[in-house]
Chains A and B, each alone.
Chain A
Amino acid sequence: MDIRVAGISKDFGASPALRDVSLEIKAGELVALLGPSGSGKTTLLRVIAGLERPASGHVYFGATDATRLSVQERQVGFVFQHYALFKHMTVAENVGYGLRVRPRDRRPSRAAIRQRVAELLDLVQLGGLGGRYPAQLSGGQRQRVALARALAVEPRVLLLDEPFGALDAKVRKDLRRWLRELHGRTGHTTIFVTHDQDEALELADRVAILNNGRLEQIGTPDQVYDAPASAFVMSFVGDTTSLPAIVDGGRVRLGGLSLDVDVAASKDGPAQLYLRPADVVLTPGDCGGGLAGTVAGIRRTVAGRRAELTLDATGTRVEIEVPPQQALSVGDRAAVHIVRGTLFEDRA
């Protein structure tokens, strides 16, 4: 089912939570709502589910305007961050709940419900645990029960609020891959909220980035990473360092150096040059041709090592990824060559 959100605004008291957000989600798509806490991503998800009423704007499910429909009428599957399982019901009773509460004329028979629950438990790899209570399961298992419960009602759209937020890193990773596979098999239109950029990029077909209640950009993971629409997207998705620079006549000047960076989109004047760790190359020693500086710190990362360099010209620090085998220690002199960079106008 296509989901379309048009011009949604919502405020809590005096602070706006959503400001004129519009986006379209195609049937079968897996979309991430990514943003820092307080960006309005969860509010947007709850507006789509019907758990919050927007102050203005519309939500469309396919061609029908769902804005005025109640939560019950919308037929969404919602998975809560803290699972919200019914503790006094067994796993099987939890999963079958949405079928048991249907009005008699649409309610499947007991045997049909039992069969459907067993299928769903197999789907989420919890076959045989139907008789347990939620308290007897691990966090990852509970999350999967919540997902099975949401899928049981054959939702028109599956909405997940920080689905892996409360799980540890290893379980998160496994569940992430598993959810991707599950989505491939069932093909539900799925929207999930996360503050974890890795999760959003790895899992989603498209990522919508929210900040301060506004939609900053929506696009494929490649688009938002490689062609960020704003400085916020640039700095929120992936690691970045920014340096103050001046655009002058088609050249970027930084601390007396003139850099060869594409400036086609920028006006003359002060700007910020955003650099990803991979956009720069570090050469040890005081050789010319780059920005000279002193190594202020070195940290081990999962992939390699990351050096912090204090630049002589501006006094600012840049983070640069270096190969683990490169000899480098704190206090060494080094020079930075900027391979590419992205310019945004100075917001200050």
Chain B
Amino acid sequence: MNNTAIAPTPAEGWRWKQPSVIPGFGIAFGYTIVYLSLVVLLPLGALVLRASEVGLSGLVAVAFEPRVFAALRVSFGVSAVAAVVASIFGLLVAWVLTRYDFPGRKFVDAMVDLPFALPTAVAGIALAALYAPNGWVGAPLAALGIKVAYTPLGIFVALVFIGLPFTVRTVQPLIADLDRELEEAAATLGASRAQALRQVLLPPLAPAVLTGLALAFARAVGEYGSVIFIAGNLPFVSEIAPLLIVIKLSEFDYTGATVIATIMLALAFVMLFAINLLQAWSRRRFGHG
């Protein structure tokens, strides 16, 4: 044995804080907790507290009121479909913006973020005007018998619009990092372009696509401004849950409003948690860095 003795390490156990060379754990952690409490937990807590006046059975009863149930179904159902479609489009947009050089690329790249910046009501009015039965896009579609504005399809269009930037921005850096050699390796092994794309290039992007999907979905569920102008807001058909909350508020039914809000919160949490699990799985499956 020519090694010098190594000092025995203390028994491994759970520790409040791992030793680290990065300073400021205390202040950073404290600030995070305070900030999260004030900005996120406190308002949400107050919301749940107010809603708890009706009890758990009351919550369930409200959730299954026909009009509320229909609105929740529209909100979550259309949001889910819109988030999936926005992610697929977003992936395509990110691919084109990253992999190809064309005149006006920087311009298009900047344009992707416009749905973030535009006041949502403006987007809603613009979309409603375009897709109305006498609008530029609505008229030809109406001639084919497809009605977009004032139907759930209209809500879908609005939600795809606001959800698009999320996946573009989460996936873009990963596409930029894709190693050219991976494609070349696949080609030397005999893989066609389509095979290389599907089996080699896209799988590593899955975690980022799911992140974008979760963000787009969360945004879509809570979206109000752009939707109400194009949705037509017909109860049982194209009425969204956030609108129902606003209606309750204007009737001074604060408890009723918080009850619907709490139900939405719970549903959204469950769905986002599910997406997160899926993402964790995809990271394990595809993310071996």
Residues of A within 8 A of B (CB): 49, 51, 70-72, 75-78, 80, 82, 84-88, 97-98, 101-102, 133-136, 149-150, 152-153
Contacts and interface: CB of A to CB of B under 8 A. Distances in A.
Contacts of B285: 88
Top 3 A-B pairs ranked by shortest CB distance? A98-B189, A84-B181, A84-B185
A133 B288 CA distance: 7
Contacts of A88: 203-204, 285-288
Interface stretch (B44-52, B112-120, B138-146, B192-200): B192-200
Contact of A101 (B182, B195, B288, B289): B195
B190 A72 contact: yes
B186 interface: yes
8 contacts: A77-B188, A78-B185, A84-B181, A84-B185, A86-B200, A102-B190, A133-B288, A135-B289
B184 interface: yes
Contacts of A82: 179, 181
A49 B188 CA distance: 8
B interface SS class: helix
Given A101-B195, A133-B288, A135-B289, A84 B189 contact: no
A134 B179 CA distance: 15
Contacts of A71: 184, 187-188
A134 B286 CA distance: 12
Nearest to A97: B189
B191 interface: yes
Given A51-B184, A71-B184, A101-B199, A153 B288 contact: no
Nearest to B206: A88
Nearest to A155: B188
A301 to B, nearest CB: 27
B204 A101 contact: no
B289 A97 contact: no
A87 B288 contact: yes
Contact of B179 (A84, A152, A153): A84
Contact of B188 (A78, A86, A87, A135): A78
B189 A149 contact: yes
